[in-house]
Structure 1
Amino acid sequence: MNEPLNSLGVIEGFYGRPWTPAQRRRLYGWMASWGMNTYLYAPKDDLWHRARWRDPYPLREQEVLASLASDARSHSVRFVYALAPGLDFDWGAPRDQKALLGKVASLTALGVRDFALLFDDIPCRPDRAAQAKEQVQATHHVQRFLDAQGPGGPLLFCPTEYCAERAVPTVTASPYLKLLGEQLDPRIEVFWTGPQVVSPQISAESLREVARVLRRRPLLWDNYYASDYTSRRLHLGPYGGRPLELRTEVSGILCNPNTPLEPNFPGLASVADYAAASPGWTAEASGERALNAWLPEFTAHQPAELAVTAEDLAFVADTLYVPHRTGPRAIRLLEAARRVADEPRHQASRTVLLAGRRHFRRVLHALETGPNRDLLYDLHPFLADVTEELTRLLAAAKAGRTTFPYRGGLADGLLRLGWPE
Structure 2
Amino acid sequence: MSAVPILGVIEGFYGRPWTPAQRGRLFARMAAWGMNTFLYAPKDDRWHRQLWRDPYPEAEAEALRGLVEDACQHGLQFVYALAPGLDLDWADDGDRRALAEKFVHVQRLGVEHFSLLFDDIPYAVDRAAQAREQVSATHHVMDTLWPDGQAGLLLLCPTEYCGERAAPSVATSPYLKALGEGLRPGVEILWTGPQVVSTEISVQSVREVNEILRRPVMIWDNLHANDFTLHRVNLGPYAGRPLELRGLVAGLLSNPNNQLELNTPGLFSLTDYASGKSDWTPEASLDRALEVWLPAFNTSSIHRVSLDDLRLVSHLLYLPGGLGPQAVRVLDVARALVNPQTGAEEREALVRELRTVRHRVITVLRALEAGPNRDLLFDLHPYLVDVAEELQRLIVWASHRGEDDPEVFSYRGSLADRLMTLGWKT
Q: What SS does the aligned partner of 1:295 have? A: helix
Deviations 1:260-281 (A, max 9, x none): 1000011100000000000010
Write the distance in 1 (CA, Å) between the matches of 2:230 and 2:194: 23
Change (3 A) 1:321 1:144: same
Q: Quick check: 150-159 or 104-113, which moved more?
A: 150-159
Paired residue total: 416
Q: Residues of 1 paired with 2:151 and 2:292: CA distance?
A: 34
After superposition, the C-alpha distances for 1:301-335 in whole angstroms (9 at most, x for unaligned) are 333xx201111101110010001301111111122
1:405 alignment partner AA: E
The CA deviation at 1:150 is 7.3
Indicate the residue corresponding to 1:373 in structure 2: 374
CA contact (8 A) 1:158 1:190 kept: yes
Q: Secondary structure at the match of 2:147?
A: helix
Q: Which residue of 2 aligns with 1:318?
A: 315
Shift of 1:417: 9.3
CA contact (8 A) 2:142 2:150 kept: no
The CA distance in 2 between the partners of 1:260 and 1:220, in whole Å, is 21
Query: Are 2:158 and 1:159 equivalent residues in the alignment?
Result: yes
Aligned-residue identity in percent: 55
1:221 is matched with 220
Match of 1:94?
Answer: 93
The 5-angstrom pairing of residues 35-184 of structure 1 reads 35-148=34-147, 152-184=151-183
SS in 1 for 2:189: strand
Which stretch has the larger CA shift, 242-251 or 347-356? 347-356
Deviations 1:199-247 (A, max 9, x none): 0011011100000000000000000000001021100001110000000
Partner residue, 1:340: 337
Q: Deviations over 1:157-196 (max 9, x none)?
A: 0000000000000011111000011010111000000000
Distance 2:423 2:150 in 1: 52
* Residue identity matched to 1:121: D
Shift in Å, 1:406 = 6.7
Classify 1:417/1:73 alpha carbon distance in 2 versus 1 (closer, same or farther; 3 Å).
farther
2:416 alignment counterpart: 411
**Distance in 2, Cα, partners of 1:141 & 1:25:** 33
CA distance in 2, matches of 1:417, 1:144: 58
SS at 1:337 equivalent: helix
**Aligned mates of 1:281, 1:406 — CA distance in 2:** 48
Distance 1:113 1:400 in 2: 63
Which residue type is aligned with residue 331 of structure 1? V
* Match status 1:309 vs 2:303: no
Query: Is 1:396 the counterpart of 2:397 in the alignment?
Result: yes
**What is the aligned partner in structure 1 of residue 352 from structure 2?**
351
Which amino acid in 1 is paired with 2:334?
A
- Structure 1 letter corresponding to 2:400: A
Displacement of 1:299 in angstroms is 0.1
Higher mean C-alpha displacement, 55-64 vs 344-353:
344-353
Q: What's the CA shift for 1:149?
A: 7.2
Q: In the aligned structure 1, how far is the partner of 2:378 from the partner of 2:221?
A: 25
- DSSP 3-state at the match of 1:299: coil
Shift of 1:384: 1.4
SS of the residue aligned with 1:80? Answer: strand
Q: Distance in 2 between matches of 1:113 and 1:143?
A: 12
Verify: 1:246 aligned to 2:251, yes or no. no
Amino acid in the other structure paired with 1:214: L
Query: Does structure 2 conserve the Cα–Cα contact (< 8 Å) formed by 1:302 and 1:370?
Result: no
Say if 1:371 and 1:400 are closer, same or farther in 2 by CA, change over 3 A: closer
Q: Is the 8 A contact 1:36 1:77 kept in 2?
A: yes
Asked whether 1:386 is paired with 2:394, we answer: no
Partner Cα distance (2:248, 2:134) in 1: 25
User: CA contact under 8 A between 1:13 and 1:41: conserved in structure 2?
Assistant: yes
Decide whether the 8 Å contact of 2:36 with 2:76 is kept in 1: yes
* Structure 1 residue 416: Cα displacement: 8.7
Gaps of 5+ in 2: none
Q: Shift in Å at residue 147 of structure 1? A: 1.4
Deviation of residue 415 (structure 1)? 6.9
Deviation at 1:362, TM superposition (A): 0.6
Query: What residue is the counterpart of 1:8 in the other structure?
Result: 7
Secondary structure at the counterpart of residue 8 of structure 1: strand
Q: CA deviation at 1:405?
A: 1.8
Label 1:134 to 1:142 Cα distance change in 2 as closer, same or farther (>3 A): same
When the two chains are superposed, the root-mean-square deviation of aligned CA atoms in Å is: 2.0
User: Which shows bigger deviation, 344-353 or 96-105?
Assistant: 344-353
How much has 1:404 moved relative to structure 2?
3.8
Query: Do the aligned partners of residues 150 and 27 (structure 1) sit closer, same or farther apart at CA in structure 2, a change above 3 Å counting?
Result: farther
Measure the CA separation in 1 of the matches of 2:90 and 2:396: 64
1:133 and 1:272 mapped to 2: Cα distance?
35
The aligned residue for residue 257 of structure 2 is 258
Instruction: Report Cα offsets for 1:346-374 as digits up to 9, x if no partner.
Output: 12211210110111111000111111111
